[in-house]
Structure 1
Amino acid sequence: MLIAYLDHQRQDQLQWLVSAGGSSSDEAILCALGVEEAGDVALSARDFGGVVSLWPARFLRPSTADDVARALLLAARSAGLTVAARGNGHCVGGQAMAAGGIVLDMRALGPPMSLAPGGAAVDVPGGALWSEVLEWTVRNHRMAPPSWTDYLGLTVGGTLSNGGVSGQCFRYGPQVNNVVEMDVVTTDGDRRLCSASINSDLFFAVLGGLGQFGVITRARLALLPAPKMVRWRRVVYADLETFASDAEWLVTQPDASAFNYVEGFAFLNDASDPASGWNSVPILPGSAFDPADFLAAAAASVLYCLELALYYDDRVADRVDEREEELLRRLRYVRAAEFSADVGYVAFLSRVAPVEAEARARGTWATPHPWLNVFISASNIVDFDRNVFKRVLLGGIGGPMLVYPLRRSR
């Protein structure tokens, strides 16, 4: 199973959809909800996608699950009144907007994070960012959730409502597979505890349910000991078939001898696109890379890169080279077309933060970002490569084109 992710930032090819919020028939009730108003209503009409803009009647900042319940109960009793939970605004198609309705700013939701009884899990409010979870669990307990997203500026409730996929999924499954229990406010305003054994239908409906079955106000996330360091490596391939074969081999190795993280991306054999050209391959800033130094002049217009990570700490530091070499020896990437660095665990998981800072400095972070995740069977990935990467997207997309294998069993 492989996933392809496409991120497009070209504003001139997009159509803006704008809807002005009208007055609600429940205006008086809205005013009486007793939930603090968020300051910038315009913020609730924007998201990371930058394509849709829908204005609500109210932008509220709930601080407790009871605040969330009151808003959802009002919507359940009011014809045509909609409620949307907004995390950090990273939807791409207006999914967290509510035209003429109520938008809940989940970032203010409490209580603060705490270690669950037994110490093997952490209780996190639904509006907490994954970057905050990482910092709190590692700093205070040298523990961390096993499965992450590439970008950590997302809320826990937001990714659990979608799936939460990244390069650790082949070992630990997506983030939704690493939830012990949740507090959920259902669409009729009821507060309910759910897990795989308690209210299990609700539990599995909410995880990956796109917010249609309830709002996550608290999640208990499984924890594992956090490593100290990461051996981070990128290796380049000239063709999709070899790239995919090696990636699939890597994710089927026994956990004890496998990488901890396996991702990959397609990139253009061109330097003109800084986001999806060959300049996106080096790990460290300032590193030079030109495929012409390693590949024949007739190399394909689209190339591929596997991104790999091996976690370690002081106890096994002397064996990292040996462990990595055992895995790399089997791979058929273009020798010498590779980059590596040893970085701290938190720095590795936060690797997109410098990219965000650079994009904000350039002014491109606020441009439209249509975003597509596609799950493709392994038997169809070659056709997808031929018809999409090498035809439709041949000129680049102004953003990364991630493609990597997942295991159905995880």
Structure 2
Amino acid sequence: MKKRMIAVLLIFVLVVGTAVPAAAAGTGFSDLPTGYWAGEAIRNVAGKGIVSGYQDGTFRPAQKVTNAQFAVFLARAFYPKEAKAYEDQGYGGSAPWYWASMAALRDHRILEGTAMGRDTGWPELGCDGEYVTRYDMAQLAYNIMLDYEQTGSEVEREVVHLRVGDWSEIPESYQDAVTACYVLRVLRGHTDGDFDGAALMTRAQSCVVIDRLGKGLGVTIGTGEHVQTGPAGATLLSGQPVTEENVKDLLQRVAAEWQGDIRGMTYASGNSSAEVQAVIWSYTDANGKKLSMTSGSGGYAALLSDRVFGRFGFPARKLDDISKMRAGDIVITLDNGKIVRVSTYSGTKGDMMTLEGRMETGYEMFYLMDGGTAGSMVITPDDEFPGRTYEVWTRYPD
């Protein structure tokens, strides 16, 4: 990843509502009833100093958010060091209150394709006058995903248009952004299934988006740093301990949920590089970001695993003894060094989850056994299938 004016007059804070929160009391807002749909996200984002309430103790969750305000929120959440560096540097003259945040976002190309990025000057002096649409929110979030090199599995991306009721109304220029936001679960759409991109963002929605985006990227909002967690004491995404039974339960539920998004689509099996260990969860790039496989059956296996174990905290390791595999482990079939299929072990003896198997016959098409018929997944002695080898990768702690 490439690498904010905080001191604002009180009267100005009351107008724009974007100053740093006043102490810890800023997270107990009088207008957020118990059980409010965005309450947890608002308290989390406010608690990190990204957004604040008002002097009367309210948060005003339904209030619309301007481009400038949202830019400041994003910079505080994901690029606080860069924004602070601009503040320390100073503008050298009269400047809008949000200029340091805009400059930090521009350095990372976050404003491209949005109303905030259509200026010819520097910084964007007209930013403060308009409100953020859901279209631009999605594009800004997508640009941050690109910067953090995390946009989700291609397998998931290919079915998003089936989940969005008003997909045909979304301009082509925003479709990639909307897709990635659904894949990383930053967006979930309205109850009627529509995206409604022209609608204006509210303060509550802004907090939810920032909270979800941070979690989806594995980033601690407020610092912009990747979450550094390890297997010891960690839990599955369900919040349950890492046991085979818990993995099996969550794996089945995630697979069933994703299967419901399919409308008779088919995919070819993966044809990834033979250096599988370099492209699965153990791979970490120069910026410390963990990446998953993204296409074909490999993408589906990665999808299932990431949705059970999470994208971070459980690096993969290769099993020396494939007979010790457990629910959620990944079985890679190679023919003369070329990957021909990547499957997820369901936890039921002989039962594999593959993209083709899930599409055709649920979870019972491919089997682990000493022999089999055409169409079966077979693990046999190497001399029965010359050139056929298998690898099993696990994300369970040692």
TM-score by length of 2: 0.24
Structure number having the greater helix percentage: 2
More strand by share: 1
Q: Kindly indicate whether structure 1 or structure 2 has the higher relative contact order, using CA contacts under 8 Å at least 6 residues apart.
A: 1
Q: For the pair shown, which has the larger CA radius of gyration, 1 or 2? A: 2
